[in-house]
Amino acid sequence: MTTKIPARIQWAVETLAVAPDDHLLEIGCGTGVAVALIAEHLSGGKIVAIDRSEKMIAQARKKNQALVEVGQVDFQVADVETMDFGEMRFNKIFAVNVNLFWTKPAAELQGVIKRLKSCLQTGGSLSLFYEPPDISQTQIIADMVTGVLAAHDFTIREVLYQGLESARGVCIIAHV
């Protein structure tokens, strides 16, 4: 049985313009739908995908078993607030529909920003995609996310909007 790929995931993967040797990190990968599409573009590159839900990571590993076995994809149970990749750096970090910022107390927010910066390669990009169910939220989210990133020394490279099925998506692309 083939699973329909959600339009937001298709859009995210196209927007990321994956190069064969990219080293990507996905935060909040769910069942790994984006990872499977991205892996098709990789040759020599790699994607690490995290989710704080053990159940999601178990499903993602099962669905992408062949990619995991050849070492192209690594799924890890981890929270963005505590993730630690040692010396590993990524040239593209992204998340789709993950609330990284808006309900977090200041201390947790600082933790998230610190973790993102610590594993983003110099010159690398952070791309945050959102498809809010309520169309009126799109601009609010765009403004809030760009505000938080700019306040923490990220430079906003682009803010893209996209019509998606019944919603309006936004992608904020930033670098340090």
Ligand X SMILES: C[S@@+](CC[C@H](N)C(=O)[O-])C[C@H]1O[C@@H](n2cnc3c(N)ncnc32)[C@H](O)[C@@H]1O
Nearest CB to ligand X, comparing residues 98 and 142: 98
Of residues 133-152, those binding ligand X (CB under 6 A): none
How distant, in Å, are the alpha carbons of 132, 145, 170 from that of 48? 25, 23, 23
Instruction: Give least dist CB 95 to ligand X, A.
Output: 7
Nearest CB to ligand X, comparing residues 5 and 17: 5
Ranked by CB distance to ligand X, the top (closest) residue is 28
Given candidates 15, 97, 121, 139, which one binds ligand X under the rule CB under 6 A? 97
DSSP category for residue 166: T
**Would you count residue 27 as binding ligand X (CB under 6 A)?**
yes
Which of 4, 3, 61, 68 lies closest to 32 in space, CA to CA?
A: 61
Which segments of the chain does DSSP mark as H helices, in order? 7-16, 33-39, 54-63, 65-69, 106-119, 137-151
**Would you count residue 74 as binding ligand X (CB under 6 A)?**
no
For residue 79, give every residue at least 6 positions away whose Cβ sits within 8 Å of its Cβ, in sequence order, or none.
50, 52
**Would you count residue 120 as binding ligand X (CB under 6 A)?**
no
- Residue identified by tokens 């906003």 is 156
User: Under rule CB under 6 A, how many of the chain's residues touch ligand X?
Assistant: 15
Q: Are 54 and 77 in contact (CB under 8 A)?
A: yes
Of residues 42-61, those binding ligand X (CB under 6 A): 50-53, 56
Nearest CB to ligand X, comparing residues 81 and 175: 81
Instruction: Give least dist CB 58 to ligand X, A.
Output: 12
Lookup: tokens for 108 = 């947790």
Q: Which residues bind ligand X (CB under 6 A)?
A: 27-30, 50-53, 56, 79-81, 96-98
